[in-house]
């Protein structure tokens, strides 16, 4: 009886390890592939000879090309701007709003909550959202540029202000604030703390893990955002405010055969390999910040998700 148990357990463990190792390898493989393609010879990249390791005559030209490409770094700095300012902006209004919503004494609390949660149930759709962003652009142009053409303002500000909303994150923060014991708040109030002081000196330090998680979520979605940034900037024809994702997609579309829009010309074959290899270099550059912060903050989001995922 005992022996049988051991055998079934052993088999299960072998299957588990095998499956997990294969899955983990699959998750890492595309990144290794991109890294290798960046250093492989252009012919090898074009002919799809790169499988795992850099193939052909190794080169640093793709790396150098991206490193020296002014347009790439303009878009990169745009993304840095949008990520930093956008995350701070989203965090400010989310923390303030979540703090107010976490208070039982707030009148009309259920109404405000519904106002927030309803946006998770129903969205107007792609076209109305786009028309709304266009109108926002016109209004901002009227206010700051004296025209109604949204191309006259720096669209980075539109992206920062109007995009990246996430009701789940606010609810995550609200739940975390609700978990702070009310005795601590009362004690602070008796000591003469104002509402804002209670928030910044008591609630924020006590919800550090959740705030870190939410900041990570906001930051990553800003860094990776493509669709709306692309729609808005391309509608205004404003290439200088492209975030790096939009720039990268545009480059891949124009300089590689990947998206199927490149007209392959036999005289251009070398360029296809070059373009593709450079595109991989861009992919690596665009992933570096995420790869750098990811291991440090990974322990927080496991915690944050469990707190906010299912609420009783």
| 136: contact with another protein by CB under 8 A | yes
- Residue 157 as a binder of another protein (CB under 8 A): the answer is no
Residue selected from 226, 234, 254, 296 as contacting another protein according to rule CB under 8 A: 226
> From the centroid of its chain, how far is CA 134?
23
Of 68-107, binders to another protein (CB under 8 A) are 92-94, 96-97, 99-101, 103, 105-107
What is the 3-state composition of the chain as percent helix, strand, coil, each rounded to the nearest 5? 80, 0, 20
Nearer to another protein, 97 or 145 (CB): 97
Residue 53 engages another protein in binding (rule: CB under 8 A): no
User: Pick from 253, 255, 280, 271: which is nearest to 63 by CA?
Assistant: 280
Among residues 60 and 290, whose Cβ is nearest to another protein?
290
Tell me which stretch binds another protein (CB under 8 A): 56-64, 65-73, 191-199, 202-210: 191-199
35, 85, 145, 165: which one contacts another protein (CB under 8 A)? 165
> Which CA distances in Å does 114 have to 98, 101, 109, 140?
13, 11, 9, 29
For residue 207 the two structure tokens come to 């919800």
Per CB under 8 A, 204 contacts another protein: no
The alpha-helical segments, DSSP class H, found in 145-268 are 155-162, 167-178, 182-190, 195-198, 204-206, 208-224, 227-236, 244-255
Taking CB under 8 A as the rule, does residue 20 contact another protein? Answer: yes
User: Is residue 174 part of the contact set for another protein (CB under 8 A)?
Assistant: no
Determine if 184 is a binding residue for another protein (CB under 8 A): no
Phi, psi of 125 (to 5 degrees): 115, 175
Q: How far is the CB of 67 from another protein (least distance, A)?
A: 19
């Amino acid at each position: 009886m005992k022996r049988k148990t051991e055998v079934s357990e052993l088999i299960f463990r072998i299957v588990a390890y095998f499956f997990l190792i294969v899955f983990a390898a699959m998750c890492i493989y595309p990144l290794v592939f991109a890294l290798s393609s960046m250093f492989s010879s252009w012919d090898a990249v074009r002919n799809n000879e790169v499988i795992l390791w850099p193939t052909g005559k190794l080169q640093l030209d793709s790396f150098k090309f991206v490193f020296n490409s002014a347009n790439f770094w303009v878009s990169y700095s745009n993304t840095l701007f949008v990520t930093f300012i956008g995350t701070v902006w989203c965090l400010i209004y989310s923390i303030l709003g979540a703090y107010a919503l976490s208070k039982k004494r707030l009148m009309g609390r259920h109404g405000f909550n519904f106002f927030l949660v309803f946006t998770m149930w129903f969205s107007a759709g792609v076209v109305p959202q786009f028309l709304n962003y266009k109108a926002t652009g016109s209004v901002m142009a009227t206010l700051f540029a004296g025209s109604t053409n949204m191309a006259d303002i720096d669209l980075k500000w539109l992206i920062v202000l109007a995009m990246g909303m996430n009701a789940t994150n606010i609810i995550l923060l609200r739940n975390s604030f609700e978990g702070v014991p009310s005795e601590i708040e009362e004690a602070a109030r008796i000591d003469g703390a104002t509402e804002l002081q209670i928030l910044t000196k008591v609630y924020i330090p006590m919800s550090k893990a959740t705030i870190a998680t939410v900041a990570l979520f906001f930051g990553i979605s800003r860094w990776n955002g493509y669709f709306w940034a692309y729609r808005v900037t391309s509608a205004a024809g404003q290439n200088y405010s492209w975030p790096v994702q939009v720039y990268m997609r545009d480059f891949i579309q124009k300089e590689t055969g990947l998206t199927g829009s490149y007209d392959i010309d036999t005289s251009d074959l070398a360029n296809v390999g070059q373009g593709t290899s450079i595109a991989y270099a861009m992919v690596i550059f665009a992933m570096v910040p995420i790869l750098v912060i990811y291991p440090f903050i990974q322990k927080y989001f496991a915690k944050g998700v469990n707190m906010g995922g299912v609420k009783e």
